Structure 1
Amino acid sequence: MARYDPFSPTFEHPLINSSPDYTSRNGSFRSSRAIGDLSTITAQMSFRERFKRIRSLEEDKNQIIEDRNSFVTVLLDGDNMIFTKDLVSKGEKGGKEAANLIFDTVAAFITEHLHHLDSPKIVTKMYANVKTLSEHLAKLKVIEKSTVFDEFVRGLSSTQLLFDFVDAGTRPESTREKVADQFNLNLYDCHCHQVILGCSSHTHYAKLLQETIKDNFLISHITLLEAVPFEKDMVPLKDTLKTTTFDNIFRTTKLAAAPAIPKGPLQAVTATLPALARVESNGTTGTTSSSSTPAITWATLTAQPTPPASKAPSTTRTSTPTSMKSPDGLAASVKPATTKPIDRNRHGQRIDKVDSSIPNHEIQRIKKLKLCNIFYLQGATYCTSNNCSHSHTYPLSKSERNVLREVARMTPCYYKMDCSDPECIYGHRCPQNKPDENGCWYGQECRFYGWGHAIDTRVVKTTKV
């Protein structure tokens, strides 16, 4: 049996040491310069050869591991990746059609870009605030009623086994957080060969991706799905990451620009949001009309005792007689188109002025009147709900209208600080927050929690829409 001298490095030695050997078996130093140089060269060559063998084995092992359960993940922010009206209006049938379209589109993507994979699984996860989104779509007449969207979601989740539509809850940041967690979970999974991310241009996603692409190895594993054109911080990422589109599946325009929305403010979009605080009416029932009823004034209202909460009559919408319209023409049928400015800070975030001179007791008084914000601040035609439970009959004065505007700001706008409607009456930051603080006294219960605090209120530019 052949034996090898472990202290005599040669190219053929199967167990060669990776570093040069400068000593002989008896420990004496090798004095020959030529022999020492030759030993160094042959040892380095042997190291490279061994590295090649080890790397080849590792690649074979990885190939076995990764191909065993290979898959591609599609992650969708459902609050911003909105399906086309043609699909979502069909209810459950449209949901099934949408799921199949996504599957077929991703399969084609894999064939074109990931052809080395052999029939990988396609995993799709979509997160959204289902309640708000369904009401939003119904308000815009994209769907007949909110339950149609529930049927659509049912169709989505039941058609493809690995397609899940998840209700992320009502917190504004819940959807983004869940998508981000799934993104990181899949990106570092050796079985996941590609993450197709469909998100918004929100700074949350921009920061997530900017941090991720610092690792060059991960860049080839990410593809951005574009529906509505990217804005601001997301645009530069298109130069680094691959992008794709799913034609005829998602809207390419924001809901606010949809044809179903009448010309005018975006309040039809946000009208479905609940009031910041639900309180009992102080006697304004919204049923006062007809010539036999004396004109209502604040004096007559305050003179009436407030009924107990258990016996308070329900407030229902009634038609507004001409005598009850405000002197400022608040119930005008259509407002003329105007160009109004929007103040923004250095980050491009919308900054609305807050009137801090209004006493808190006055704000609480107006809140208790339970007035319809849309009706009084935008006009009668903008409140399109047949079941509006807020009053349309109170004779609002000009000063009270200013107070009501501050009350309306306490309800978050659906589009948050990205809202570009100059006529929007809802809030784009927490009115209780100070610019140098990260929260307010409501804590996590604040409806602006997670996005509407610590906003720089210094106006640096004004845009006109």
Structure 2
Amino acid sequence: MASNTQMNDLVSRFNALQAREMPEQRYYKDLVERLHALQETNHVLQEKLADANLGLNHMSQLRKLYEGTRLQCETLTADLRNIRSANNYVFIIMDGNGLIFDNRFIKQGREGGKQAAQALLLAVAKLCPSLPSSFEIFCDVLVNIAEMGRALVNDGSIDDPSLFHEFAIGFTEVKSSFNFIDIGLSKGTLVRKIQETAMWHLGCYNCRHVMLGIGHGAQYAPFLRRLNEAGDARMCVSVILGEPIVREIEACGNTVYALDGDVFRTTKLVDKTLIEKPSVQRTEATKPQGSPVPRAATTQAVLTPATSTSSMSPPQTSWAKITKSATPPPKLTMPLPPKQDKTKLATKAPPQPAWSPGPRGRDPPITVGLPAMEDIKRREDSDKLCNNHFLRGPCTRIGACTFNHTFKPSKEQLKALAMLARQNPCINGQDCDVDDCIYGHNCPNVTNGVCTRSHCRFKVDGHPPNTKFTNSFATQWDN
């Protein structure tokens, strides 16, 4: 208890002393405390000011750097804009084996090539009204020139295959940016060149549009789909319309342009030497060569149409059946042929004996209509019909065979398939003893003494004597 009393006494005495303190002394005390607080605040503000000055200097340097960079970017942008506007171009690349110029151009040779180039220029320029007037048009036509010339002859479009070569020269003379590129026989090279060249030009910033002449070929559809999936290429890539677009290309959704001026033909080439030939009387050499022939038969000839080779054949009856009397001597009465000019008689070749390639004889002719032939030839890859299955089936390799076995062809389509199978020589040739053999045992492409097949697979002895060939390739088979 004593300790608590003492503590309370001390507190009371302290309070009394504070009450007696002078106001001036308290003011001085508060003033000193306030001064110390201001000094601390000033020190903090000095540090913040130093940091702000440092940031300001840094920002000033950045602003100067930004201004310099901005001016440089504006200069580069202006330069790029000038470059793009000065070198705009549209690139055209065509598979010339399928997208073919109109006959009215090709028939004129070199002059027609110039006209075709001008017509193509005008038609494409009309499609690009938003481009500057200084834009260029580049065009590459990839084609097998020699083969196309022969195909045009077989189609009846031209008479001389060299006209197409002259046409190509005239086409390239109009503009240095127009080119005919001969790719030879390699179809794979043609497809690869078109795809790679188109991709390269699509990567050029001043190429504003690419036009592809590939609408006839389903093999280009995967390439178009890849382009469309990569971005906005569908807006930059279009297809030129010539013959009808195949459904695979149409399904890609790219714009299809039918150019003004009828620049390209709208129908496919047809080898008219293989279809709908006029029927002629042919003598099949199937009888033994050693069979006896009456001597009197040598004086009687079988007249054949002017389009076929005259042939000698034995009469249907012997002289013993014609007359029973030996006297007077029988008179041979033959119908008089139509009266002809002397000039025609002088140039008419003497009748020749029927040609036989060997023991099996000549294959019987096949006549087929154009629509059926076109349908069969248009099929590609796994859509092609299996020859063995449809011509003498069923196919014994259906599990491994890659061709179509489910299609139901018409009679005309079967004829077309058989005609195409005849283009392949039988490995046994005239020694073949298979009655239903689907392959050829003699060349089926000889018309008026000329083999119309550009690269005939038959040997020379598979053709009638003195047959002429469209090129020298077939002579390698000469024995």
Calculate the TM-score normalised by the size of structure 2.
Answer: 0.51
Instruction: Read off the aligned partner of 2:250 and give its amino acid letter.
Output: V
Q: Is the 8 A contact 1:134 1:146 kept in 2?
A: yes
Instruction: Read off the aligned partner of 1:319 and give its amino acid letter.
Output: T
Aligned to 2:443: 373
Tell me the secondary structure at the aligned position of residue 364 of structure 1. coil
How far residue 346 of structure 1 moved from its aligned partner, in angstroms, is 11
Matching residue within 228, 235, 241 for 1:213: 228
1:193 aligns with 2:208: yes
1:223 aligns with 2:223: no
Aligned to 1:147: 162
The CA distance in 2 between the partners of 1:72 and 1:330, in whole Å, is 53
1:364 aligns with 2:379: no
Instruction: Read off the aligned partner of 1:254 and give its amino acid letter.
Output: K
The CA distance in 2 between the partners of 1:345 and 1:92, in whole Å, is 34
Aligned to 1:254: 268
Aligned to 1:103: 121
The CA distance in 1 between the partners of 2:377 and 2:166, in whole Å, is 41
How far residue 6 of structure 1 moved from its aligned partner, in angstroms, is 6.6
Q: Is the 8 A contact 2:168 2:180 kept in 1?
A: yes
Matches for 1:45-444 after TM superposition, within 5 Å: 59-110=77-128, 112=129, 114-115=130-131, 117-238=132-253, 241-247=254-260, 248-256=262-270, 261=272, 264=275, 319=309, 321=311, 323=313, 324=354, 349-354=383-388, 363-366=426-429, 372-374=442-444, 383-388=446-451, 391=462
Compared CA separation, residues 229 and 179, structure 1 to 2 (3 A): same
Tell me the secondary structure at the aligned position of residue 251 of structure 1. coil
Identity %: 18
How far residue 385 of structure 1 moved from its aligned partner, in angstroms, is 4.7
Compared CA separation, residues 338 and 149, structure 1 to 2 (3 A): closer
The CA distance in 2 between the partners of 1:211 and 1:165, in whole Å, is 27
Compared CA separation, residues 91 and 336, structure 1 to 2 (3 A): closer
Q: Is the 8 A contact 1:93 1:152 kept in 2?
A: yes
The CA distance in 1 between the partners of 2:224 and 2:197, in whole Å, is 13
How far residue 320 of structure 1 moved from its aligned partner, in angstroms, is 6.3
How far residue 386 of structure 1 moved from its aligned partner, in angstroms, is 3.6
The CA distance in 1 between the partners of 2:259 and 2:380, in whole Å, is 34
Paired residues in the alignment total 302
Tell me the secondary structure at the aligned position of residue 193 of structure 1. strand
Stretches of structure 2 that go unaligned for 5 or more consecutive residues are 1-51, 291-306, 314-353, 397-424, 433-439, 452-459, 466-479
How far residue 13 of structure 1 moved from its aligned partner, in angstroms, is 6.7
The CA distance in 2 between the partners of 1:343 and 1:84, in whole Å, is 22
Compared CA separation, residues 63 and 5, structure 1 to 2 (3 A): farther
Q: Is the 8 A contact 1:129 1:168 kept in 2?
A: yes
Compared CA separation, residues 344 and 82, structure 1 to 2 (3 A): closer
The CA distance in 2 between the partners of 1:346 and 1:158, in whole Å, is 36
Tell me the secondary structure at the aligned position of residue 239 of structure 2. strand
Instruction: Read off the aligned partner of 1:94 and give its amino acid letter.
Output: G
The CA distance in 2 between the partners of 1:92 and 1:387, in whole Å, is 27
Which one has more relative contact order, counting CA pairs under 8 Å at least 6 apart? 1
Tell me the secondary structure at the aligned position of residue 100 of structure 1. helix
Task: Tell me the alpha carbon deviations over residues 351-402 of structure 1, each in whole angstroms, 9 at most, x when there is no partner.
Answer: 2223799xxxx94341899964325xxxxxxx435433665669xxxxxxxx
Compared CA separation, residues 335 and 108, structure 1 to 2 (3 A): closer
Compared CA separation, residues 74 and 346, structure 1 to 2 (3 A): closer
Q: Is the 8 A contact 1:71 1:192 kept in 2?
A: yes
Q: Is the 8 A contact 1:79 1:175 kept in 2?
A: no
The CA distance in 1 between the partners of 2:370 and 2:214, in whole Å, is 32
Task: Tell me the alpha carbon deviations over residues 177-213 of structure 1, each in whole angstroms, 9 at most, x when there is no partner.
Answer: 2211211121111222211111134343211111112
How far residue 15 of structure 1 moved from its aligned partner, in angstroms, is 2.9
Task: Tell me the alpha carbon deviations over residues 302-329 of structure 1, each in whole angstroms, 9 at most, x when there is no partner.
Answer: xxxxxxxxxxxxxxx9936375589999
Instruction: Read off the aligned partner of 1:120 and give its amino acid letter.
Output: F
Q: Which runs of 4+ in 1 moved over 4 A?
A: 49-59, 260-263, 295-300, 322-348, 367-372, 389-394
Q: Is the 8 A contact 2:273 2:447 kept in 1?
A: no
The CA distance in 1 between the partners of 2:53 and 2:429, in whole Å, is 97
The CA distance in 2 between the partners of 1:204 and 1:51, in whole Å, is 50
Q: Is the 8 A contact 2:91 2:139 kept in 1?
A: yes
The CA distance in 1 between the partners of 2:192 and 2:268, in whole Å, is 22
How far residue 232 of structure 1 moved from its aligned partner, in angstroms, is 2.3
Matches for 1:23-42 after TM superposition, within 5 Å: none
Calculate the TM-score normalised by the size of structure 1.
Answer: 0.53
RMSD: 4.8
Tell me the secondary structure at the aligned position of residue 169 of structure 2. helix
More helix by share: 2
The CA distance in 2 between the partners of 1:69 and 1:236, in whole Å, is 33
Tell me the secondary structure at the aligned position of residue 223 of structure 1. strand
Aligned to 1:15: 62
